[in-house]
Amino acid sequence: GTFSSRFSELVGLSPSAYRRAAIEAGVQAGAARLDPCIDRKIVRPVRNQEAPPAHPLVA
pLDDT tens-place string over residues 4-55: 999 899 889 999 999 888 888 776 665 566 777 777 777 777 677 777 777 7
Its pTM stands at 0.44
Other CB atoms within 10 Å distance of the CB of residue 8? 14
DSSP helix/strand/coil, 59: coil
Q: Report the pLDDT value the prediction gives residue 16, as an integer from 0 to 100.
A: 92
